[in-house]
């Protein structure tokens, strides 16, 4: 985890012994993951972890905000004088991935800061086409060039997280449900506390 000169927190990639100052869209799930960890952390660590989660969410939002179409690229870099921007053509596409929306959903549930709902709504404005939703080849282009592909994970994950982002907290509440990496909700099975058998004393058995 690193912080850019402009104050953006990002998670770089370690490759072959070298640190590459690039963060992938896939990594943006980490904001939600850290927030979940903070929810069960010791009280002296909760504030720091929630701050980290919020910073990751902000960085991923910036990767969206700094494009022409307000959709995030597949990967974005922090080198060569740029921050949270894709510099290679093969990183400028958007294929309806869920990770950023996932983090917004968790951050909304834990903080109820309205910006996360606003950011989530922004992210779905340019992908609608006549027959559904489509990826975009270059998010820095002035007009969208759709790739004519609706990924299956868009329905399974992205829309599910968007739905939960705008739902009440008791709809699939975190106390009762956990989501795996593909957004499948699994019920939390809690063991009932076993009560120890009642111990009777001699006096308890005396009938008055």
Stretch 71-80: mean pLDDT, rounded? 95
**What would the CATH number be for the domain defined by 2-187?**
1.50.10.10
**pLDDT value at residue 208:** 45
In this prediction, what percent of the chain has a pLDDT beyond 70? Answer: 93
Minimum mean pLDDT range among 17-26, 34-43, 190-199:
190-199
51 classed as catalytic = no
pLDDT-wise least confident of 107-111, 124-128, 166-170? 124-128
What ranges do the domains of the chain cover?
2-187
Can you say which residues are annotated as belonging to the binding site for Ca(2+)?
181
In the set 62, 74, 102, 157, the catalytic residue is: 74
CA distance 170 to 199: 40
pLDDT averaged over every residue in the chain = 92
pTM of the model: 0.89
Q: Is the pLDDT of residue 11 over 50?
A: yes
Q: What is the pLDDT of residues 27-55, one digit of tens each?
A: 999 999 999 999 888 888 899 999 999 99
Taking phi first (over 0 means left), then psi (-120 to 50 degrees means alpha), and beta for anything else, what does residue 139 get?
alpha
Alpha helices in the chain (DSSP H): 30-39, 43-65, 99-111, 115-122, 152-153, 159-165
């Amino acid at each position: 985890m690193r912080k850019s000169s402009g104050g953006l927190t990002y998670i770089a990639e370690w490759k072959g012994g070298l640190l590459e100052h690039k963060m992938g869209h896939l990594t943006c799930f980490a904001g939600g993951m850290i927030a979940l960890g903070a929810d069960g952390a010791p009280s002296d660590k909760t504030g720091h972890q929630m701050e980290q989660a919020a910073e990751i969410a902000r960085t991923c939002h910036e990767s969206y905000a700094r494009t022409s179409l307000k959709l995030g690229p597949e990967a974005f870099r922090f080198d060569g004088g740029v921050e949270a921007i894709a510099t290679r053509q093969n990183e400028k596409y958007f294929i309806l991935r869920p990770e950023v929306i996932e983090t917004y959903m968790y951050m909304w549930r834990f903080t109820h800061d309205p910006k996360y709902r606003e950011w989530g709504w922004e992210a779905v404005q340019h992908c609608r086409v006549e027959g559904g939703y489509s990826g975009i080849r270059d998010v820095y282009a002035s007009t969208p060039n759709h790739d004519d592909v609706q990924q299956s994970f868009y329905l399974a994950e992205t829309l599910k997280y968007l739905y939960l982002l705008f739902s009440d907290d008791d709809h699939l509440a975190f106390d009762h449900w956990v989501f795996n990496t593909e957004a499948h909700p699994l019920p939390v099975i809690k063991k009932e506390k076993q009560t120890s058998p009642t111990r009777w004393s001699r006096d308890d058995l005396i009938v008055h």
